[in-house]
Amino acid sequence: MKLNKIHTVVILGILSFLLNIPSLQAQEKFFRAIGTPHKPEVQVSWNRYYTYEGIVEIMEKIAKAHPNLAKMESIGKSFEGKDIYLLTISDFKTGDPDKKPAMYIDGNIHSNEIQGAEFSLYTAWYLTEMFDELDFIKELLQDKTFYINPTINPDARNNYMNKPNTPHSPRSGMIVLDNDRDGQAGEDGFDDLNGDNDITMMIRKSPTGRYIKDPQDPRRLIRVEAEEKGEYEMLGYEGKDTDGDGEVNEDGIGYYDPNRDWGWNWQPDYIQRGAYKYPFSLPESRSVMNFVMDHPNIAGAQSYHNYGGMILRGPGAEEDKDTYNAEDVKIYDAIGKKGEEMIPGYRYLVVYKDLYSVFGGELDWFYGGRGIYTYTNELMNSYQYFHKNEGRGNQEEQLKVDKFLTFGDAFVPWEEYDHPQYGKIQIGGFKKNFGRAHPGFLLEQDAHRNMAFTIYHAYHTPKLSITEVKEKNLGGGLKQITATIYNERLMPTHSSQDLKHNIERPDYVSISGANVITGMVVNDEDFNKVEEQKHNPEKIKVRNIPGMEAVKVRWIVSGNGNYRIKVDSAKGGTAEWRK
């Protein structure tokens, strides 16, 4: 190398060094935290809640930023005409997402149980942002599909957020029914008397009242002893007698329960309070049902509710006990118990035994009606405040939380009000977004843990491969071909509920490029126990490929061509082998 050339190189080097100085200074402001997308394409704050419009905007951003991983579609319209949007998350370059074993996730079926929408959405966001970062996520999306449906009650989600409500309302959707059977629908609902967009409690000073305000904490009402005189009486939630029948708040929005509208062991309202007209008579659950019927690849499902920290499985009603048999319960238990470890404070429970009886619930239709392994998580629990299990609605704990952790953000202080029927009253109490909903600072962690549970669930949907193909010469130009198909995950291609009713078609193992004389399923290779299929032996119908097990299929063929073997399972995906 000549001297002046060296010169040039040195100068260039120095120049580039100097030019680099500003960029070096602007460099890393962030240091990677394990477990979280470091520089996400889509920026989302996971410490607040989103209205329907906010949810849709994030979904659009995810679909736009990751066109090869996310697709957004409307699966139907709500009662008020809002689109029910769903994201399909999968690696679109490795096959048709509707043919891969899939996990369906939805949230917010009860409109006041809002965080299911954010948790679902977090899952879509995490999977798409981590696809290029983690081999595990990459492989997961190559194998599987996630159908993510953040809110299946968009109308009443917005009503809960934008209009005055309690933590427990509206729960139903926005169809207005006649709850007191007087021929008028929704004529006497809550009234936001103090105009703060929360429906809190009404109390009144009364000589016969049984409560006093705690002298050390005036937010708190204490019931007096039987022989003591009280000062206040409770009048219930904010409202008045609008229709003049002598009752307050007896006929508001709803009431029906979207989670009593599903087509497995459905019962009418007089047996199952909250049932609407007939299964899927609500447009939102009908849209979900149509989607599920059109996607037989859904093998696992998750629905998010609140609250109490539970991982629930069916049966929803004792009458349905026999639907869940031992083989399926084993799989439910394996995944559910892992969930308890992944989400501290959450307990794995059975709806009818540990909660209450439900007919026509969503999870029972998914399992009973479609054979899909399904959990419902009741998000948020007291454990997350002080790592103690104080139970649902523990007033003492909640007052402490609002004193030491949220500094008064959760409580509307008592204020006087002139009521048209009750006269001078006081209005106050916990806000609608406290108790059931996570405070912002707890939201992201619980979203991540619940997502991790659904990923574990999705991972264990079946995964099929043709692990071995053996040939045996039978003489006379005949050949025996035996193929082994292995399912390397926990779930079978057909749950035992599915097998009981033949819900999903059998798995097909087919051979092409060979002249098939006969075909059979091999039940016991060592002792040649086989089951012949006379009709159409090129395509052997296999009833089920159990989890962590293999099945064998055999053909007797003539000729010497190069043949191809294919496995096609609705819930187990596809696999291929070529000679």
Partner 1 sequence: MKNKFLFLLAAVCLGFLPAAAQDDYPTNKEVAQRLQQIGSSRDAKLISLVKTEGGEDIWALQIGRGDLENKPAIAITSGVEGHHVLSAELALQVAEKIVKDHSQLLETTTFYVFPNMSPDAYSQYHNKLKYERRGNAVKVDHDRDGEISEDGYEDLNRDGMITDMRVESPLGKYIAHEDYPQILVEAEGANAAGKIRYLKLSEGIDNDKDEKFNEDLSEGIAFNKSLTYQFPVFEALAGDYPVSQKETRALLDYLFERWNIFAFVTFAPENNLSTPLKYNKQGAEKRIVTSILEKDAELNKIISDIYNETVPLKAYNQENQGKGGDFFQWAYFHFGRLSFSTPGWWIPEVKQEEKDSLNPKKGKITPETNFLAWAEKEGLDNIFVNWTEVEHPDFPNRKVEVGGIRPFAMMNPPYRMVDSIAEQHTDFVVKLAEMKPKLEFHNLETEKLSGGLTRITVDLFNNSPLPTHSEMGERSRWLQKLQITVDKEKEDILAGNTIKLSGKLGAYEKETISWIVKGNGTVTVKAGAPHTGYATMKVKL
Which residues, 6+ apart, have CB-to-CB distance to 379 below 8 Å?
113, 115, 116, 119, 304, 305, 306, 307, 309, 438, 446, 450
Report which secondary-structure segment, H or E, holds 182: none
Full DSSP string of 203-257:
EEE-TT--EEEETTEEEEEEEPPTTS--SEEEEEES---SSSSS-SS-B-S----
Could you give the CA distance from residue 305 to residue 310 in angstroms, rounded to a whole number?
9
Site for partner 1 in 442-481 (CB under 8 A): none
Task: Tell me how many residues contact partner 1 (CB under 8 A).
Answer: 38
Could you give the CA distance from residue 261 to residue 574 in angstroms, rounded to a whole number?
34
In terms of CB distance, is 387 or 534 closer to partner 1? 534
Per rule CB under 8 A, is residue 263 in the interface with partner 1? yes
> How many CB atoms lie under 10 A from the CB of residue 341?
11
Site for partner 1 in 401-430 (CB under 8 A): none
Chosen residue from 6, 10, 15, 271 binding partner 1 by CB under 8 A: 271
Using the CB atoms, write b or e for 552-571: b if 16+ within 10 Å. bbbbbbeeeeebebbbbbbb
> How many CB atoms lie under 10 A from the CB of residue 293?
11
Chosen residue from 73, 319, 341, 532 binding partner 1 by CB under 8 A: 319
Site for partner 1 in 492-511 (CB under 8 A): 501-503, 505-506
In terms of CB distance, is 277 or 353 closer to partner 1? 277
Question: Shortest Cβ distance from residue 124 to partner 1 (Å)?
Answer: 28
> How many CB atoms lie under 10 A from the CB of residue 184?
14
Question: Shortest Cβ distance from residue 116 to partner 1 (Å)?
Answer: 24
In terms of CB distance, is 263 or 546 closer to partner 1? 263
Q: Which stretch binds partner 1 (CB under 8 A): 263-271, 402-410, 512-520, 523-531?
A: 263-271
Chosen residue from 278, 386, 404, 441 binding partner 1 by CB under 8 A: 278
> Is the link from the previous residue into 85 a cis peptide, with omega within 30 of 0?
no
CA distances from 332 to 196, 447, 512 (A): 44, 21, 37
Q: Which stretch binds partner 1 (CB under 8 A): 47-55, 210-218, 271-279, 346-354?
A: 271-279
Question: Shortest Cβ distance from residue 285 to partner 1 (Å)?
Answer: 11
CA distances from 473 to 88, 477, 557 (A): 47, 8, 10
Using the CB atoms, write b or e for 217-230: b if 16+ within 10 Å. eebebeeeeeeeeb
Question: Shortest Cβ distance from residue 361 to partner 1 (Å)?
Answer: 14
In the β-sheet with 423-430, what is the strand arrangement from edge to edge?
A: 217-223, 211-214, 232-237, 201-205, 423-430, 411-419
In terms of CB distance, is 57 or 319 closer to partner 1? 319
Report which secondary-structure segment, H or E, holds 10: helix 3-26
Per rule CB under 8 A, is residue 541 in the interface with partner 1? yes
Question: Shortest Cβ distance from residue 360 to partner 1 (Å)?
Answer: 10
Kindly state the tokens that stand for 522.
């091999």
Question: Shortest Cβ distance from residue 100 to partner 1 (Å)?
Answer: 19
Could you give the CA distance from residue 4 to residue 9 in angstroms, rounded to a whole number?
9
Question: Shortest Cβ distance from residue 194 to partner 1 (Å)?
Answer: 24
Chosen residue from 243, 468, 532, 576 binding partner 1 by CB under 8 A: 243
Per rule CB under 8 A, is residue 281 in the interface with partner 1? yes
Task: Fill in the per-residue mask, 353 to 392: x = in contact with partner 1 (CB under 8 A), - = not in contact.
Answer: ------x-----x---x-----------------------
Could you give the CA distance from residue 96 to residue 362 in angstroms, rounded to a whole number?
27
Chosen residue from 190, 280, 366, 414 binding partner 1 by CB under 8 A: 280
Site for partner 1 in 167-226 (CB under 8 A): 177-183
Q: Which stretch binds partner 1 (CB under 8 A): 207-215, 240-248, 431-439, 452-460?
A: 240-248
Q: Within a 13 Å sphere around the CA of 8, how many CA atoms are in the beta-carbon half?
A: 5
Question: Shortest Cβ distance from residue 131 to partner 1 (Å)?
Answer: 34
Using the CB atoms, write b or e for 49-78: b if 16+ within 10 Å. bbbbebbbebbebbbeebeebbbbeebbeb
Per rule CB under 8 A, is residue 269 in the interface with partner 1? yes
Site for partner 1 in 107-146 (CB under 8 A): none
- Give the interface with partner 1 as residue ranges (CB under 8 A): 177-183, 243-246, 263-264, 266-271, 277-281, 289, 293, 319, 359, 365, 369, 501-503, 505-506, 534-535, 541
